[in-house]
């Protein structure tokens, strides 16, 4: 039990070291103040710091892992003037299939050209881009396996231009599909199971990764040698401004094609040859796809949370916990008040107990002296009684040895002397009262009753309440003058003349003071007023009696002279 108690005390002392809500306990010079730490405040401080630290680690983990959602602002506007877009990838990709099987011999039947021209009005076979498998050009883009794209190793960038005020300055990207001349009716181009997969590639900005990624839209094109199809892709340009600074703003701008609007037109082969005769040289053109920029600009402003915002979020939670701690520190203040009162009461108990012990010791000494005096008196009375009995026996023995006259003389004189030597009636009364008191009082029974009463009171009260019963009404800091008052009161109780004399002397001393400094002096002065008035009344009566006697004597002497 003792070890567990000591361990609990050490634990409480350890918790007090972490108390952030300690209250001022006492003040020193220059307003420097000490604080009183409590175990409750220490436990509360540990809880607040622990929860705050755990929450800080949690939000920092979310911040560095990119789990915070950025704020995104979008708007759309119309562009005027020259618009330019640079592509570092192939916007078109294609492949040929027959019943789901990849056809690798498509070059024997078709010619494919991807090139830039001025609004589709020029065509030069020397200006087209080289075609290569997309898996070699875009190795990370597995969705385009077995597709064919522009060889970007030869041409790193493709620049598209659109001028709303001058259409002749527009530069578009084209995809042209020709059927080679000399194809027989039983050729593969006339097979209905033969088709082409066509993909339009563009980009999108993903906020999770903070980067642009390629996306594509696929379509299946059935090859019809007798039909010409023209696809017009109006691409929408997007601009994403990204603020990904850690503490201060750091902007990055991404411009890309994010969407498109497709329109189609159909012509017969005869009509297409008439329209594109100047640059097809009679070739059988069955497909023409063009990409041009429209006048729409889609803007996106992406702002990622900064570390200051995260810390502000932590500060709000920490402030809330601190407010809870400040509210809870009222309990710490109450604890400090209780401990302060306990210290004062303990000091009060010690001083009062010392005073009571001294007072009880004095009472015991006086009681012992009175008991010793009573015992000596009883013993003296017993001795005198024995002496009287011996004297009586001695007188009676003499009666048998003397003559009649001497016998009678000695008998009467000795009896008278013995009768005169009887004890004082006051001593007899004291002895009778003492014997009656001892006969009526059973000390053992009284002791048992007192023990029962103390036990009942102790069960109803706490230890401190029970201990404080002996000190109710005691002075907190008794002075020497107060102790002298107690001694004076004891002496006044023993001697009535001394009581009257001391009362008058003390009353005269108090009258010399305009206002007594000690409340006890004021109370004592008020209690003496009755005795002072009684003494003054007696003195006045005695003076009046003396004056009347003097007056009577003077009148008698005057009458005698007249006679």
pLDDT for position 199: 92
Find the range with the poorest average confidence among 89-93, 337-341, 437-441: 437-441
Q: Is residue 311's pLDDT more than 80?
A: yes
Instruction: Work out the angle at residue 358's Cα, subtended by the Cα atoms of residues 355 and 364, and round it to the nearest 5 degrees.
Output: 140
**How sure is the predictor about 402, in pLDDT bands with cuts at 50, 70 and 90?**
very low
417/97: higher pLDDT: 97
Distance between CA atoms of residues 220 and 98, nearest Å: 12
Most distant CA pair in the chain, distance: 204
Token pair 């023995």: residue: 397
C-alpha dist (Å) from residue 448 to 258, 444, 445, 547: 104, 6, 5, 63
Predicted TM-score of the model (pTM): 0.50
Q: Is residue 421's pLDDT more than 70?
A: no
**How sure is the predictor about 537, in pLDDT bands with cuts at 50, 70 and 90?**
confident
pLDDT per position as a tens digit, 38-78: 666 677 778 888 888 888 898 888 888 878 888 888 898 88
Q: Coil, strand or helix: which one is 305?
A: coil
362/160: higher pLDDT: 160
Nearest to 174 by CA among 319, 85, 287, 332: 287
pLDDT for position 446: 64
Q: Coil, strand or helix: which one is 111?
A: strand
Q: Is residue 250's pLDDT more than 80?
A: yes
Q: Which two tokens stand for residue 350?
A: 């010690």
Strand partners, 292: 234
pLDDT for position 26: 46
Distance between CA atoms of residues 32 and 38, nearest Å: 20
Distance between CA atoms of residues 33 and 425, nearest Å: 74
- When pLDDT is averaged across residues 468-494 and rounded to a whole number, the result is 52
pLDDT for position 209: 81
Find the range with the poorest average confidence among 86-90, 146-150, 216-220, 506-510: 506-510
> In this structure, how many other beta carbons lie within 10 angstroms of the beta carbon of residue 439?
8
Rounded percentage of the chain residues whose pLDDT exceeds 90: 7
Mark residue 77 as left, alpha or beta (left: phi above 0; alpha: psi -120 to 50; beta: remaining). Answer: beta
335/483: higher pLDDT: 335
Rounded percentage of the chain residues whose pLDDT exceeds 70: 53
Residues 6+ apart with CB under 8 A from 359: 486
Q: Indicate the domain borders of the chain.
A: 2-64+308-349, 72-303, 479-563
Nearest to 272 by CA among 229, 221, 222: 229
Distance between CA atoms of residues 408 and 212, nearest Å: 157
Nearest to 155 by CA among 230, 75, 88: 88
- Mean of pLDDT over the chain: 72
C-alpha dist (Å) from residue 357 to 47, 116, 180, 473, 492: 49, 117, 131, 16, 21
**How sure is the predictor about 523, in pLDDT bands with cuts at 50, 70 and 90?**
low
Residues 6+ apart with CB under 8 A from 25: 33, 34, 35, 36, 336
Find the range with the poorest average confidence among 96-105, 353-362, 474-483: 474-483
């Amino acid at each position: 039990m003792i070890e567990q108690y000591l361990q609990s005390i050490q634990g409480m002392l350890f918790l007090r070291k972490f108390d952030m809500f300690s209250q001022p306990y006492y003040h020193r010079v220059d307003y420097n103040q000490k604080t009183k730490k409590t175990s409750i405040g220490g436990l509360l401080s540990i809880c607040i710091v622990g929860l705050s630290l755990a929450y800080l680690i949690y939000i920092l983990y979310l911040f560095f892992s990119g789990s915070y959602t950025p704020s995104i602002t979008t708007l759309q506007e119309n562009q005027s003037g020259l618009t330019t877009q640079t592509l570092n990838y192939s916007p078109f990709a294609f492949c040929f299939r027959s019943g789901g099987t990849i056809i690798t011999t498509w070059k024997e039947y078709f010619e494919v050209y991807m090139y830039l021209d001025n609004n589709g009005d020029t065509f030069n076979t020397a200006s087209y881009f080289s075609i290569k498998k997309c898996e070699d050009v875009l190795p990370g883009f597995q969705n385009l396996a077995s597709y064919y794209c522009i060889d970007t190793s030869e041409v790193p960038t493709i620049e598209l231009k659109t001028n709303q005020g001058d259409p002749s300055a527009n530069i578009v990207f084209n995809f042209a599909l020709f059927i080679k001349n000399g194809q027989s009716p039983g050729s593969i181009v006339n097979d209905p199971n033969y088709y082409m997969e066509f993909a339009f590639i563009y980009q999108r900005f993903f906020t999770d990764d903070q980067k642009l990624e390629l996306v594509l839209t696929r379509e299946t094109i059935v090859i019809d040698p007798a039909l010409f199809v023209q696809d017009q892709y109006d691409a929408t340009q997007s601009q994403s401004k990204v603020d990904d600074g850690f503490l201060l703003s750091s902007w990055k701008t991404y411009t890309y094609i994010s969407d498109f609007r497709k329109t189609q037109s159909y012509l017969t082969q005869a009509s297409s040859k008439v329209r594109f005769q100047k640059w097809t040289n009679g070739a059988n053109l069955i497909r023409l796809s063009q990409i041009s920029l429209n006048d729409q600009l889609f803007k996106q402003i992406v702002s990622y949370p900064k570390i200051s915002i995260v810390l502000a979020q932590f500060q709000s939670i920490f402030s809330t916990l601190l407010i809870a701690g400040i509210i809870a520190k009222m309990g710490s203040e109450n604890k400090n008040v209780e401990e302060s009162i306990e210290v004062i009461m303990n000091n009060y108990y010690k001083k009062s107990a010392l005073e009571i012990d001294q007072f009880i010791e004095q009472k015991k000494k006086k009681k012992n002296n009175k008991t010793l005096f009573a015992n000596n008196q009883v013993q003296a009375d017993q001795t005198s009684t024995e002496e009287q009995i011996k004297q009586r026996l001695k007188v009676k023995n003499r009666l048998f040895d003397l003559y009649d006259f001497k016998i009678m003389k000695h008998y009467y004189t000795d009896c008278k002397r013995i009768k005169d030597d009887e004890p004082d009636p006051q001593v007899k009364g004291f002895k009778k009262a003492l014997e009656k008191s001892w006969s009526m009082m059973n000390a053992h029974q009284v002791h048992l009753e007192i023990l029962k009463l103390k036990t009942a009171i102790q069960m109803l009260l706490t230890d401190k309440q029970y201990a404080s019963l002996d000190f109710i009404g005691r002075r907190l800091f008794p002075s020497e003058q107060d102790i002298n008052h107690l001694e004076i009161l004891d002496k006044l109780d023993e001697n009535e003349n001394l009581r009257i004399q001391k009362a008058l002397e003390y009353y005269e001393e108090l009258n010399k003071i305009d206002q007594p400094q000690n409340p006890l002096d004021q109370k004592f002065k008020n209690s003496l007023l009755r005795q002072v008035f009684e003494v003054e009344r007696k003195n006045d009566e005695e003076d009046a009696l003396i004056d009347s006697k003097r007056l009577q004597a003077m009148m008698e002497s005057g009458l005698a002279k007249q006679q």
